A and B are shown apart, each in its own frame.
Chain A
Amino acid sequence: MEWQAVQQAREVFLSGRTRALEFRLQQLQALQRMITERETDICIALKQDINRSQYDTPLLELIGIENEIKLALEKLTEWAAPRPVEKNLLTMSDEVYIQKQPLGLVLIIGTWNYPWAVTLQPLVGAIAAGNGAVIKPSELSEHSSLLLRALLPRYLDKDLYPVVLGGVSKTQELLKQRFDHIFYTGSSSVGKLVMEAAAHQLTPVTLELGGKSPCYIDKNCDIRVACRRVTWGKFVNCGQTCIAPDYILCEPCIQGRVVECIRQTILEFYGADPKSSPDYGRIINQHHFNRVMDLMEGYAPVVGGQSDASQCYIAPTVLKDVPPHSRLMQEEIFGPLLPIMTVSDMDDAIHFINEREKPLALYIFCSDKKATKRMIEETTSGGVTVNDVMMHYTLSSLPFGGVGQSGMGNYHGKHTFDRLSHQRACLVRSLGMESVNLVRYPPQDRHRARRVRMVLKSSLIDLSKRTFIWAVSVSIIAFGLFITLLVILLIASGLNCTCWYWRGFYN
């Protein structure tokens, strides 16, 4: 039955229903209504899935989706408009532009940690770009998936955006179907399988993966504020965030202070017993609970460490002097364990980071702008936030995505629209002025060849609006200056004009 839904979505797309901008705007408005009207249901589902607090849900997911929709509604006409580009002498009288076209049917595979954000944010871009979409939410966030399947057809077009539920085998089946783009959020290991499956159909992919996002705290910075920001980013959603600061790098002389500041902040945020705080989450399931607990084995935490398997609860935990070869430092933690590894200085930290896979995010806490700039220049990562964590994710004008093992492609705001569109190069010529073309036709000789070379070498003319306005303004100013110069010269030469105006002036 689901394959029929996928087939139906494709047929409806091919019928051209999504072409009109009005249709896309209507769908986006409907999605907006869904988020606003069903916020409570969504919060309940997330509470059941991952014990997310009712404040964290809007904060971490819904506000982001709402902002994406608002931006798309405001800017869609601009994004979808053809974009004129530079011409050369040969194409001077032609129309040269980039036409934005939908790709077709996009498959969006979500994950369980922010099940609404990672499916609906790409969906906003897919709708705006005029695509149909098949959404496959994660089976691990069961309540959210069921709710999404119930809600989406009630608000959006019933044919174009089917939701398909299921586990690994369902996803594998789905990957055998033909899509025009696959947008996957999840782990690197599954990312490889998705890309491999996409290879059969030559389907382009966007992979939003993960990795270990390092957080460097320099000894020259406001450690107290730094630790508050890091604590927030680390323990929100119980550490289950792809861009959470995975581990801290700092010099041994400040390690103690860092530990204390984090301890203080945990107390401030969650109280003496985080288990009873309504604002602290849980691990998604037993499997991940065991996985995270195993990572800690053999290391004594300096903060936290308590757990309760029946609730999948792990306290906000800090471990210090963690050696680089420990398991904690090998795989993405994705849980509320914060290891601190000491480095001798910033250079040592840069070296450590560069020896490892390119992370999804890098965090630098440092008051020295020059040093910060150097650290950015000497490393690479999907994104960077300096003196805070995760915030680069919240600004939709910044492209969000990974590099290397942390992913390929990026999205948010216009970047999603561009990612899920085909930018079609268009040259619209007329059949007139055929004499100009004669130089390129055979039979060839040296003179024709030289003329063609000359035409091809001509500098490009950018007749886009801005350059045109600039060119016209400069011409007007130049002309004005010329007239002024002429007048000055006339006056300076003391010409006796018979003009009545000058007669009046001289008398």
Chain B
Amino acid sequence: MEAQSQVVDRLRSSFRSGVTLPEQFRQTQLSRLLSMLKENEEKILAALHDDLAKPKFEAVLSEVELVLGEVHYAISNLRSWMQLEYCAKNMATKLDDCFVRREPLGVVLIIGTWNYPLQLVLSPMIGAIAAGNCVIVKPSEVSPATDRLIAELIPKYLSQDCYAVVSGGAEETKALLQHRFDHIFYTGSQAVARCILQAASVHLTPVTLELGGKCPSVVYGRVNIVAAARRLIWAKFFNAGQSCVAPDYVLCSKATCDTLVPALRAALQDFYGTEPQTCPDLSRIVSQKHWTRLVELLEKSKAKVVVGGETDEEDKYIAPTVVVDVAEDDVLMQEEIFGPILPIITVESLEKVIDFINSREKPLALYVFSDESSVINTVLEKTSSGGFCSNDGIIHMTLPGLPFGGVGASGWGSYHGRWGFETFSHRRACMMRGWALERLNGLRYPPYRDDKLSWLRWTTRTNCSIM
């Protein structure tokens, strides 16, 4: 088995050779990625089921189709993304060619995580390939079946000189981070992100951090409670609540809570039946360790369980659970839940809702359920978050035109669609001047004079459009 340093060196010399630069090469690799997904869908679904008991529907929707969509989008748009971008000029540069060139960074490292183990590794990889980089991918060891599958398939379909998979746990990741990369893309927790940033600072490596946090879900004002409950349930319990953009907790008034809880119960019954543990459409918790963490949260919490609460250790099962009477300092409100437990916190005014949200770290996503556009607009204007979606959950991340990423403690940088391409590119400013007009240049040379200065002020005035 190749040592990490050999892998890094090999990819670096491939990058230096320039093989990834032509559009044709990148298109070919993206097409092969497409074939890889299409020809191995059954294997992929099986691996995801092994790791997370992921229902086929969820796996298809949130992993396979999402990645297929990204590849298609990149293939269709790559040429336009690679075009030179001509810029507005001023008087002094009127006759010059001024443009921005997108260039690959070099060898990039993508560290995935376990909740969407395929998507969170391949989606950034698409952007990195499209941008012309060589890529090392480090899937999460917590989802071992998908990790093994990725390690098997990538070398089979993509150029082995330019793309490699490195597997392993925390020690291997630490060792990998000692090497020099030209960009590190990390999805995961804040604690690990700090270590990654420390390692990146040694080499001045730019990073993209897709982290998490507690995504608030506001239900306020006049609202179609049945529709809101269904969408909330869908977004929350998708992948058994193990999504970085899952609604973490609900904020609503007491009166709304009283109508919301029965609606949530009804929606849960519609979706997963009366015995959710037997329903094939519900995932499981990824590992014993995470199951224990969630069960302990439930046990330590002083909140009241109104729906669900059942657990089964052997099956790593936790029933879709709703809890009320949650205090602000309850253990459920201390960290990101990342599981199928939905706390409802009652707050009596919209102002208090906004204060509640703003007194905490900026979340990755913020949701508002309301039929009143004034409520939606107020929350939108007065808060900040990575992304925002009203009257639904998670869906905003399926649109490649929208940048997907966090802000503050929920992360920095973004990807999906063109945003991924830009993340893994360097925008190089180019100005091509001519030899003529040296007299104009004379305005800037010493010996200096007052009149030269006035002319210069005029010629370097704010940009005139090239149109």
Contacts and interface: CB of A to CB of B under 8 A. Distances in A.
Interface of A: 14, 16, 19, 53-56, 58-59, 63, 66-67, 70-71, 74, 85-88, 90-91, 96, 98-99, 101, 103-104, 180, 188, 191-193, 195-196, 198-200, 202, 204, 207, 209, 221-222, 225, 228-229, 232, 268-271, 277-280, 354, 367, 372, 376-378, 380-388, 391-392, 394-400, 403-405, 407-410, 413, 422-432, 434, 437, 440-444, 448-449, 452-453, 456-457, 460, 462
Contact of A423 (B193, B279, B414): B414
8 contacts: A70-B462, A394-B93, A397-B463, A398-B87, A403-B426, A413-B463, A425-B397, A441-B230
Given A96-B402, A387-B435, A427-B389, A199 B194 contact: yes
B250 to A, nearest CB: 16
Given A99-B380, A367-B435, A426-B380, A85 B401 contact: yes
A384 B390 contact: no
A378 B428 CA distance: 13
Nearest to B398: A456
B306 interface: no
A429 B429 contact: no
Contacts of B65: 452-453, 456-457
Given A67-B462, A86-B399, A410 B430 contact: no
Interface string B354-389: 000010000000000101000010001110111111
Interface residues of B, number: 110
Contacts of B259: none
Contact of B448 (A53, A202, A422): A53
A430 B431 contact: no
Contacts of A376: 101, 430
Q: Which of A66, A188, A209, A383 has the most CB of B within 10 A?
A: A383
Contact of B376 (A56, A202, A428): A428
A387 B434 contact: yes
Consensus secondary structure, chain B interface: mixed
B185 interface: no
Interface in B173-216: 182, 190, 193-194, 197-198, 200-202, 204, 206, 209, 211
Contacts of A391: 92-93, 96, 431, 433
A415 to B, nearest CB: 9
Given A395-B431, A426-B396, A460-B400, 10 more contacts: A192-B202, A387-B434, A427-B388, A428-B376, A431-B227, A441-B271, A442-B271, A442-B282, A449-B56, A449-B60
A184 to B, nearest CB: 11
B457 interface: yes
Nearest to A83: B401
A384 B198 contact: no
B228 A431 contact: yes
B168 interface: no
B438 interface: yes
Contacts of A55: 446, 448-449, 452-453
B288 to A, nearest CB: 25
B216 to A, nearest CB: 15
A442 B201 contact: no
B286 interface: no
B391 interface: yes
A422 B279 CA distance: 41
Given A391-B93, A427-B388, A460-B400, A444 B281 contact: yes
A354 B73 CA distance: 33
Contacts of A367: 435
Given A85-B402, A399-B100, A424 B386 contact: yes
A454 B25 CA distance: 29
A188 B444 CA distance: 30
A394 B433 CA distance: 13
Given A397-B463, A424-B386, A456 B61 contact: yes
Interface string B257-271: 000000000000011
B143 to A, nearest CB: 22
B418 to A, nearest CB: 10
Contacts of B96: 391
Contacts of B337: none
Q: Which 10 A-B pairs have the closest CB atoms?
A: A85-B401, A55-B448, A199-B197, A442-B281, A425-B402, A398-B429, A195-B201, A397-B87, A279-B446, A427-B396
Interface in B86-121: 87-90, 92-93, 96, 98, 100-101, 103, 105-106
Contacts of B197: 195-196, 198-199, 202
A93 B378 CA distance: 21
A395 B435 contact: no
B427 interface: yes
Nearest to A14: B358
B83 to A, nearest CB: 14
Nearest to B413: A204
Given A385-B433, A431-B228, A192 B201 contact: yes
Contacts of A279: 446-448
Contact of B386 (A268, A425, A434): A425
A387 B388 CA distance: 47
Contact of A394 (B92, B223, B438): B92
B396 A425 contact: yes
Contact of A424 (B385, B444, B462): B385
Interface string B66-79: 10010001000000
Contacts of B190: 202
Interface in B423-445: 426-435, 438, 441, 444-445
